[in-house]
Structure 1
Amino acid sequence: MKTRRNRGRVVAAALAAMCAAAVLPGRAHAADPGEYGFDPGAKKVQGATANVEASELDEGVPYRSTIRPGEKLYYRVVLDDVSNAYVSAVAVPGGSGPVAYGDGIKVSLRETDDTSCGSEQANFGSGEYARPITAYAYRTIEEGPASCQESGQYDVLVERETKDATDTRAWDLELRFLQEPRLKAASAMPTKAPENWPSGTPGPLTGQQQKRSGGSGYAQATSLENGRWQDTVAPGQTRFYRVPVGWGQQIHATAGLSNSTGAAGEFVGSALTLSLANPAQGFVSDATLAYSGSPASASLSPLPPVAYRNRYDSSTQVNAMRFAGWYYLAVSLSPKLKESFGAEPIPFELSVQVKNEAEESPYEGDAGVFGVTDQDREVARKGQNAEQAAKSGPMKVVAAAGIGTGTVLVLGLGVWTLLARRRTAAAAPAAPASGAAGPGGHGPPQGR
């Protein structure tokens, strides 16, 4: 029995070693500075210049597409008559060089007769440097007569604005279509925006600073909880993070850029941009800082606690805080710093505070991406991104490093075969001590 137990331990150890080798850190989805990390499950889709030829987007499925300067591209979604719907587009210019203040994208959701349901624009602003920017359009269900309330097909129109007529390079797009869950009791929900909410700025955090490396895209965003987080960002690079914010909770964030340890450089306006997006990847707010080589910081303007009624406010900063879930922080550093301070990454601190106790969800059943669970908070504590969290189960760990189940089975069978041969050899009669030939007239193998 002892021998069998030992053999079982050998097999378990061998399989564990194979799994451990499969999940060595730092191997999956490595990205160069400035490279955007698209959702690995994203499907490719081509936008149509004619709306009747538009490809349909499925709910909850990420998509990749491209758009050229001045293009107006159509996609299509099918909506019911009871759900609020959201379609987001992340524009990824890549290494497209300088951009103008108004360069960017506009996303709109429209009826097939071109009636607009809602739209949002995103541009590069005063920083005038290329980086991933996001915008979303939505259809909301309203009481009384209103447009865009019927079930059926709707157009998603993505438009690109580029001032430079000589720029012909395409931008990548990451698209996503989501629908909000139904309310428990719609009649009991407030239908007016909040008149007052705590708008004070919390005091600075104290305590130990911790290191946590940001992701290269929304899908790879590193999870954070309350605390002071240290990372580095290179000129032209964007780091992504995500924070679980429940109903009734209020998020505050500050990015502080370290002093330059190299030679002194010229003053750079809008050197760093800290931006916030909501769970549907809709833009919420941003803040910028100027840099001359000395420490500098920028904080997001005070934002209201997450509440369903926020959607009725006319301010983007307020109405975008309309549901709970993972909120995304992006830290972008201008490529202009490379000329003044060199290409080496600069350390920075991201301070995150989520205030108040989480309140009950207003939705029926599972809130999906529009809610925060205890598991989400544990993921934030561990610092996992969405892919790591999804693949943290026993067998899913193997898949996270790109090694298939079939490969594991083959390796496992190899271990079992080896042990079976050893058992057979151990059970066979001992060879004659003199090395005399056996029944076949051959002596024992030599040299082993």
Structure 2
Amino acid sequence: MGRGRTARARGAAVRVAAGGAVVRAVAGGAVVRAAAVLVGVVALVGAGPAAGVGNAVSSVRSGESGQSVQFAQSYDYAFASDARSVDGASGTSDAPLLAPGGTYRGTLPRAAKLYYRLDLDASSNAYVSVTAVPRAGSALTVSEGIRVAVQSAQGHSCSYENATFGAARSPHPVTAWGARTTSPVSRACEGAGSYYVVVERVGTAGASAGAWDLELTSVTEPALESTGATKAPEVWDSASPAPAAGEAVRRAGGAGFAGAAPVGQGVWRTDIAPGQTLFYKVPVGWGQQPHATVELGSSGSDSGYTLGALDLTLYNPVRADVEDIDVGYNGRQTTAALPAVPPVDHTNRYSGSDQVSGMRFAGAYYLVVHLAARVADEFGDGPYGLTLRVSVKGAERAGPGYAGQPVPRDLFQVTARDRQTAADGTDATGGTAMRALAVGGIGAGTAVLVALGAWTLLARRRAGAV
């Protein structure tokens, strides 16, 4: 998420206070009692399959005294199922390779600085993203987060970015990214050879010592067949469109980038628990402008306030953050709306504005919503109603004419299947809607039987131990 971000080397973060919202544009085994299991399983059926078991249970947990349990200690992140294990090195000599198109999983200790290697040709742009997931029970500070840098073999800086948790101090996945670009060219990072990705934690004074889990991705973008414009469009429609209207369609969010739920133009409805993060993806073609607002329903109480409670971030296809907004919550319904972004254009990368340069390629753009864990302390465990309004403005046009294929292939294009998936929630193998139907077909009664079986087993084990 984008709270508390600092800029990469080529631009400063922009902060605009407006109506109580802070906008940032950047480039860039506890044993659960059987009763809780029973309620959690039933809640999972009602919430839909994409929420994941961890999220469903976390939304209903309560302490024996009736006090709410900290959701910060039970949220979940769904890592890519095909992620390969990787251990970062303590120096460049032993740095493991991050191959283009690969997704990796590792860990980041508190005091470590980890190195990974990129083997690049002279013409391709290369992008890496690192998502850090604090483990259950992590105590976070305002300035705590991760830093991702890309360096040349000569030690020159190609890019860097910090991503921190901000004032809410709510544990959730945070993502920072780095790049070696040939368009625009960086004179300090030219040529083929080895480049290094450096990942470390920042703001660790007073932080918990536990390691964080990491998900890393590496992608490449080919050069153009012929040199085109090297200046970003100076004029574009910067007026935010009216929020999408219409009847809301139920669409549960995913629990990670790899499992992001597809959505398109329209109004989408789900539930969210304090400490939970939901992932959606929107197909955006060349020449199109995405826009989104998210609405959090009222709690039934208006006594209290949570700073930075609701956060909405827009990420581009390489998981680089483009826009971010967070708003506080006082128990009454509230809305967070992303500022306008320009139409997708290859030349946006030449802009000095991070808000513009992030809109440099077509593909799946991610909308990531987080509800701060501290909301539970002020207003209860929830879950809370959430409405996501998505619009995609403009006619799609032809791409810029790449000289080769990106890795992964077709990363920077939108297909008819992508748009159909966004509309109906299904993928090529049945997808979100079919999985929801399957879970719904099981019925709450089956879920109850499963939970009761677990309860009976637990009781027998206790009896045998007496």
Same topology, TM > 0.5: yes
Q: Which runs of 5+ in 2 are unaligned?
A: 1-46, 56-74, 440-466
The alpha-carbon distance between structure 1 residues 271 and 26, as it changes in their structure 2 partners (threshold 3 A), is closer
| Partner residue in 1 for 2:395 | 357
The 1-side partners of 2:390 and 2:264 are apart by 7
Deviation at residue 237 of structure 1 after TM alignment: 0.4
The 1-side partners of 2:279 and 2:186 are apart by 41
Match of residue 348, structure 1, among 368, 371, 386: 386
| Partner residue in 1 for 2:233 | 194
Alpha-carbon contact 1:247-1:360 (below 8 Å) kept: yes
| 1:320 is the counterpart of 2:342 | no
The 2-side partners of 1:198 and 1:97 are apart by 43
| 1:298 is the counterpart of 2:356 | no
TM-score (norm 2): 0.74
Match of residue 381, structure 1, among 411, 415, 423: 423
Q: Which moved more, 1:41-50 or 1:96-105?
A: 96-105
TM-score (norm 1): 0.77
| Partner residue in 1 for 2:96 | 55
* Paired residue type of 1:44: S
Deviation at residue 191 of structure 1 after TM alignment: 0.5
Alpha-carbon contact 1:260-1:293 (below 8 Å) kept: yes
The alpha-carbon distance between structure 1 residues 180 and 291, as it changes in their structure 2 partners (threshold 3 A), is same
1:51-92 Cα offsets, whole Å, 9 max, x none, are 101111111111001112232100111101110110110111
1:256-309 Cα offsets, whole Å, 9 max, x none, are 100113x44411111110011110001111111111111100111111111111
Match of residue 244, structure 2, among 197, 202, 205: 205
| Partner residue in 2 for 1:20 | none
Deviation at residue 110 of structure 1 after TM alignment: 1.1
Larger radius of gyration: 1
* Paired residue type of 2:382: E
The alpha-carbon distance between structure 1 residues 173 and 191, as it changes in their structure 2 partners (threshold 3 A), is same
The 1-side partners of 2:420 and 2:294 are apart by 24
| 1:266 is the counterpart of 2:304 | yes
* Paired residue type of 1:137: G
Match of residue 172, structure 2, among 131, 140, 149: 131
Deviation at residue 392 of structure 1 after TM alignment: 4.7
| 1:170 is the counterpart of 2:211 | yes
The alpha-carbon distance between structure 1 residues 229 and 242, as it changes in their structure 2 partners (threshold 3 A), is same
* Paired residue type of 2:326: T
Q: Which moved more, 1:158-167 or 1:100-109?
A: 158-167
Deviation at residue 27 of structure 1 after TM alignment: 7.0
The 1-side partners of 2:184 and 2:349 are apart by 14
1:356-389 Cα offsets, whole Å, 9 max, x none, are 01110113365611111111111111214xxxx3
Match of residue 414, structure 2, among 367, 372, 378: 372
The alpha-carbon distance between structure 1 residues 145 and 69, as it changes in their structure 2 partners (threshold 3 A), is closer
| 1:91 is the counterpart of 2:132 | yes
The aligned runs of 1:108-257 (5 Å cut-off) are: 108-142=149-183, 146-185=187-226, 187=227, 189-257=228-296
The 2-side partners of 1:338 and 1:306 are apart by 38
| Partner residue in 2 for 1:14 | none
Q: Which moved more, 1:190-199 or 1:351-360?
A: 190-199
1:207-250 Cα offsets, whole Å, 9 max, x none, are 11111000000011000010111111100000000000111100
The alpha-carbon distance between structure 1 residues 191 and 166, as it changes in their structure 2 partners (threshold 3 A), is closer
Alpha-carbon contact 1:264-1:340 (below 8 Å) kept: no
* Paired residue type of 1:94: R
SS in 1 for 2:187: coil
Alpha-carbon contact 1:96-1:169 (below 8 Å) kept: no
1:144-163 Cα offsets, whole Å, 9 max, x none, are 88122211111111121133
Identity %: 41
Q: Which moved more, 1:87-96 or 1:362-371?
A: 362-371
Q: Which runs of 5+ in 1 are unaligned?
A: 1-24, 402-448
| 1:75 is the counterpart of 2:119 | no
Deviation at residue 140 of structure 1 after TM alignment: 1.1
Deviation at residue 102 of structure 1 after TM alignment: 1.9
Q: Tell me the number of residue pairs that the alignment of Structure 1 and Structure 2 aligns.
A: 365
